[in-house]
């Protein structure tokens, strides 16, 4: 990474830090000012995390290869019941087992 790219990363992190702080103080400011978010905008904002995160999951499942897809499937089954740390542990075990067996 050259230095201009690196500066860009620093600016991204700073902007993200400000954005994060705004979410942490935003509710307090709103409740003291008593303003409501328009309902359609709220519905859109509510969907952003699931929408963005799905784009990071689905292509990895389809194009990531057999070992990754298998690990994700097993982790998904486990994830409906247990915490994310267990999902990671089980998924990692599956991927490493497949890689070890198919070397």
Partner 1 sequence: MTKDDFWQGVRGGFPVMVSASPFGALFGALAIDNGFSVFDAVFMSATLYAGASQMVGIELFGHKVQPWLIVLSIFAVNFRHILYSASIARHIRHFSGVQKFFTFFLLVDPQYAETEKRAERGEPVSFAWYLGFAMIIYIPWQITTLLGAIFGQMIGEPRAIGLDVLLSIYFMGLVLGFRKRDNWLPVVAASSLASIAAMHFVGSPWHVSIGAIAGIALAACLPLPKQHEEPVTLEHEV
* Per-residue x/- track, 38-67, partner 1 (CB under 8 A): -xxx-xxxxxxxxxxxxxxxxxxxxxx--x
Q: What does DSSP assign to residue 102?
A: T
Contact 74, 91 (CB under 8 A): yes
What is the spatial distance between Cα 22 and Cα 59, in angstroms, rounded to a whole number? Answer: 31
What is the spatial distance between Cα 60 and Cα 69, in angstroms, rounded to a whole number? Answer: 8
Contact residue for partner 1 among 3, 4, 32, 102 (CB under 8 A): 32
Would you tell me which residues interact with partner 1 (CB under 8 A)? Answer: 1, 6, 8-17, 19-28, 30-32, 39-41, 43-64, 67-68, 71-72, 75-76, 79-80, 83-85, 87-88, 91-92, 95-96, 99
């Amino acid at each position: 990474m050259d230095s201009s790219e690196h500066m860009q990363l620093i600016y991204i992190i700073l902007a993200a830090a400000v954005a994060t702080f705004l979410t942490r103080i935003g509710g307090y400011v709103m409740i003291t000012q008593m303003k409501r978010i328009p309902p359609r905008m709220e519905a859109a904002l509510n969907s952003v995390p699931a929408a963005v995160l799905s784009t990071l999951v689905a292509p990895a499942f389809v194009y990531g290869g057999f070992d990754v897809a298998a690990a994700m499937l097993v982790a998904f089954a486990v994830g409906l019941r247990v915490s994310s740390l267990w999902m990671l542990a089980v998924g990692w075990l599956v991927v490493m087992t497949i890689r070890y067996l198919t070397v």
